[in-house]
Structure 1
Amino acid sequence: MGVVTVPVTLAEALTANSNDHRRITAAFTARTGLAWHTVTPAEYGRGTRLSVVIPARNTAYSLPAVLEALTRQHTAATIEVIAVDDASTDATPDLLTTHPRIDQAVRLETPCGAAAARNVGVHLATGDTIVFLDADMVLPPHVLADIAARARHNTILTGFRHNVPYQAGPDGHPVVPAGEPALEADHRVRWTPPAGVPMFYTGQVYPQPFVGRPLHDTQDFLHLGHGRMYHDWDLPRMVVTALVAVPRRVFLDIGGFDDSFGAGWGAEDTHLGAALIAHGCNVIPLRQARGWHLDPPNADAVWKVKLAGAVSRVALYRQLCEQPAPTGRAADLAERAESLLRKAATLR
């Protein structure tokens, strides 16, 4: 009788994977003469194909600035921009229809959530590397060159975000600060957890406030392999889809984002990170790849709604971690995306 192979759970697969990315960063420096975290000249991305996938729901307040920033990217890479409107009720569809930087845009019939919208975008994409970009993230001109020059078949390249409180300018659009966003504004770089409050992911409670530095203290996430933790943080949580680049082939093979998360906020990008890591990808930060994250006019109300569902979504993530690590699911992702596209409207 043959040996029965028991599928390895996603949680078990994570403990088997290192995140020692030094061979990748060293090879890049040897090939280009550039340090890994150096702002990249445009020509270094030549020959790379990036697909920027933007999910959008009621983001008319921020989209003009986001799209204009994409038109100003200095890169020799081939770039396509694909936007998926998640049944917005504001002017978002009109903006996506008319803006020249958009290559493809579709509008889903009913709200499905950012995870499903991103799946549809990747299904439509043709690039070798997918850059997930939120519809409220404004990028400095070098960021796509930074990503294009370093993208590989087995890397998750994480960027960072600097939240900007909403302030309307003379044109009615939010004011975007000049210069470069601050790296330390991202919670993966400078983290100040509250005292006496259970953390969402681990339930840890800290008796005193402190300043944590996940990026620095883990040596660019190097020490988070094999399921290791930094306080409440682990490697999958470093994958934040406000700005992250992933290999399209691997994304398709794991079936993309899990649709079980549905509409709402939180944990779907953590699960994506876990699935990609289990597939053998390294998570490598790009400290120079930082964007302005534009808060909506009603930011307090929006965050209240988001946080209300966070606990249940983290619980779903934990359940999915006890299931087999996803693989061989490209056909399933295509079927789910096509099902949504059959009812979707083509905007551009």
Structure 2
Amino acid sequence: MLSVVIPTRSKVTSLRATLVALAAQEHRGPYEVVVVDDGSTDGTRELLHRLAGEGTWPAPRVVDGPERGRAAARNTGAAAARGSRLLFLDDDILTVAGHMSAHQEFMGEKELAHGPLREFPGARRWLERYAAVGAAELAAAAARVAAGAEGRLPRNTLETLICAMDEGKVPPVAPWAACVGANTSLPRAFFEEVGGFDEGFGHGWGCEDLELGVRAHAAGAHMVVPAPAVGVHLTHARPDRWEQHAANLDRFTALHGLRAVRELPRLLGEGGGVAAYVAACTEQAPAAR
């Protein structure tokens, strides 16, 4: 069985869109949805009870989160899950038909699948426009977004790198980067073997998923990027994004001294890019005199 683990905290509008789009897939395989409510104060619980009462989809199981950050919330969801494969999905991701099937088809003991992500820059206005509509109308609107009918869907720099490595356009300088917590699945047993997400990252944003990827890759993970598992990120502002990211990147670098980790600011930092990162990871060190 596939267990979809969704951590959430006070993002009721985008969570509703995520759950409605997920339910609209009409996935035929066995699956469950585990929502980890990590201290929401905006009506998230009421939403989940209402969706369960509509009876139009498998009701999510709601688990209380530990309120210690995203890594801890994901670990809590994984511990409560019943499936043999875990799909970690964020509460602001729209999925399309075939998404869960694409994740579930990977049966290898160490296969880690990342569904490529696209950004939806117009997400805030879109969510406001469809906040009060019924589930069927919202699902149809979400499908239009995923088809590109509501505006272009660019990739961020991390996704550009992941896809470029997968397509052989750049050297595989950081294969572990495919472990993106917003849309990634792996076997439950393998997740437990590598120790799950590092809860030491706390409440800060960023890198806790990539750090899991480093450990998974070192343990023999086979990273795959199935196109049908695509997800659309409902882009939103995060005022202190770079401050949080810098702190988490410092922790990531302290844990793993890999060159590809040390050079991440050239990719993920403000103004970073794939070409600069790949060059920094592949350039030869100066010869000793």
- Band the TM-score falls in, shorter-chain normalisation: 0.7 to 0.9
Question: Map of 1:185-334 to 2, 5 A cutoff?
Answer: 185-187=154-156, 191=160, 214-216=162-164, 219=167, 223-224=171-172, 229=173, 234-295=174-235, 299-300=236-237, 302=238, 304-321=239-256
Return the match for 1:92 from 20, 33, 44.
44
**Cα distance in 2 between the residues matched to 1:316 and 1:265:** 12
State whether structure 2 residue 110 is matched by structure 1 residue 154.
yes
- Which residue is equivalent to 1:104? 61
C-alpha contact 1:162 1:181 (8 A) present in aligned 2 = no
Return the match for 1:136 from 82, 92, 95.
92
Please give the secondary structure, in 1, of the residue aligned with 2:91.
coil
- Which residue is equivalent to 1:25? none
Counterpart residue type for residue 107 of structure 1 = D
Task: Report how far residue 99 of structure 1 moved.
Answer: 2.3
Q: Quick check: which one's helix share is greater?
A: 2
Residues 37-86 of structure 1: per-residue CA shift (max 9 Å, x gap): xxxxxxxxxxxx10000000111011221111222223332101001011
C-alpha contact 1:63 1:95 (8 A) present in aligned 2 = no
Please give the secondary structure, in 1, of the residue aligned with 2:227.
strand
**Cα distance in 2 between the residues matched to 1:170 and 1:72:** 16
**Cα distance in 2 between the residues matched to 1:70 and 1:190:** 21
**Cα distance in 2 between the residues matched to 1:116 and 1:76:** 30
Instruction: State percent identity of aligned pairs.
Output: 27
Please give the secondary structure, in 2, of the residue aligned with 1:122.
helix
Residues 2-22 of structure 1: per-residue CA shift (max 9 Å, x gap): xxxxxxxxxxxxxxxxxxxxx
Question: Map of 1:43-54 to 2, 5 A cutoff?
Answer: 49-54=1-6
Q: Which has the larger radius of gyration?
A: 1
- Which residue is equivalent to 2:142? 176
**Cα distance in 2 between the residues matched to 1:290 and 1:218:** 14
Counterpart residue type for residue 286 of structure 1 = P
C-alpha contact 1:237 1:273 (8 A) present in aligned 2 = yes
Residues 169-204 of structure 1: per-residue CA shift (max 9 Å, x gap): 15447863606456972235874xxxxxxxxxxxxx
Please give the secondary structure, in 2, of the residue aligned with 1:185.
coil
Counterpart residue type for residue 216 of structure 1 = A
CA pair 221-55 structure 1, distance change in 2 beyond 3 A: farther
**Cα distance in 2 between the residues matched to 1:66 and 1:254:** 28
Counterpart residue type for residue 102 of structure 1 = A
C-alpha contact 2:204 2:247 (8 A) present in aligned 1 = no
**Cα distance in 1 between the residues matched to 2:249 and 2:142:** 32
Task: Report how far residue 114 of structure 1 moved.
Answer: 1.1
Greater relative contact order (Cα < 8 A, sep 6+): 1
C-alpha contact 1:239 1:269 (8 A) present in aligned 2 = yes
Please give the secondary structure, in 1, of the residue aligned with 2:250.
helix
Task: Report how far residue 222 of structure 1 moved.
Answer: 9.4
**Cα distance in 1 between the residues matched to 2:251 and 2:158:** 26
Q: Normalized against structure 1, the TM-score is what? A: 0.63
| Structure 1: gaps spanning 5 or more residues | 1-48, 192-212, 324-348
Aligned residues: 240
Return the match for 1:65 from 6, 17, 20.
17
Q: How well do the aligned residues superpose, as a CA RMSD in angstroms?
A: 2.6
Task: Report how far residue 287 of structure 1 moved.
Answer: 1.7
C-alpha contact 1:57 1:88 (8 A) present in aligned 2 = yes
C-alpha contact 1:140 1:291 (8 A) present in aligned 2 = yes
C-alpha contact 1:52 1:82 (8 A) present in aligned 2 = yes
C-alpha contact 2:116 2:163 (8 A) present in aligned 1 = no
**Cα distance in 2 between the residues matched to 1:58 and 1:318:** 30
Please give the secondary structure, in 1, of the residue aligned with 2:228.
strand
Question: Map of 1:107-122 to 2, 5 A cutoff?
Answer: 107-108=64-65, 111-122=67-78
Stretch deviating more after TM superposition (180-189 or 268-277): 180-189
- Which residue is equivalent to 1:16? none
CA pair 125-248 structure 1, distance change in 2 beyond 3 A: same
Task: Report how far residue 220 of structure 1 moved.
Answer: 5.5
- Which residue is equivalent to 2:285? none
Counterpart residue type for residue 306 of structure 1 = R
CA pair 221-236 structure 1, distance change in 2 beyond 3 A: farther
Task: Report how far residue 149 of structure 1 moved.
Answer: 1.8
